Amino acid sequence: MRRIVYISTATELTEHDVDRILTTAVRRNAEDDVTGFLLYNGRNFLQLVEGEQVALMNLMKRLVRDTRHTGLSVLIDEAVTERCCPDWQMHRLRLADDIATRRSTLEAELPPALCIFPRKLVQNFAVLN
């Protein structure tokens, strides 16, 4: 099993576009036994995905070709023994409008099993804007 965390820059997307991305991800991830979450700050995505290596490599190939974002950079690609998001086929983490409260609000929603390095990446991403 693997975990991948990446960031990318979105093209001009509406909230409706992001909701459609999430709907498709939930369906496909259920089929491929992939779990994780998506964070969107209005300009960039940060996504964590976890699952079997073949499923993740196929997903990453699709993501690299997706024209709704550019500059995909993998920050973490690691072998794991268990999932940190076993119940989330794809969960959208929403950012609070108030930047001062983003970290605490996000911390309450992050899965407890999320290890320290991905957690810090998410927290740092949350205050970018």
> Over the stretch 92-124, which tens digit does the pLDDT of each residue have?
988 877 877 888 888 889 999 998 999 999 988
β-bridge partners, 49: 4, 36
Whether the Cβ atoms of residue 88 and residue 30 lie closer than 8 Å to each other: no
pTM of the model: 0.91
Q: Which fold has domain 2-126?
A: Alpha-Beta Plaits (3.30.70)
Type of residue at 111: P
Whether the Cβ atoms of residue 91 and residue 36 lie closer than 8 Å to each other: yes
Q: For residue 129, name the pLDDT band (cuts at 50, 70, 90).
A: low
Please tell me the distance from the alpha carbon of residue 25 to that of residue 55, in angstroms, as a whole number: 13
User: Which pLDDT does position 100 carry in this prediction?
Assistant: 76
Q: For residue 90, name the pLDDT band (cuts at 50, 70, 90).
A: very high
> Over the stretch 11-52, which tens digit does the pLDDT of each residue have?
989 989 999 999 999 999 999 999 999 999 888 999 999 999
**Residues 57-71, mean pLDDT to the nearest whole number:** 95
Domain extent listing, the chain: 2-126
Structure tokens at 111: 């899965």
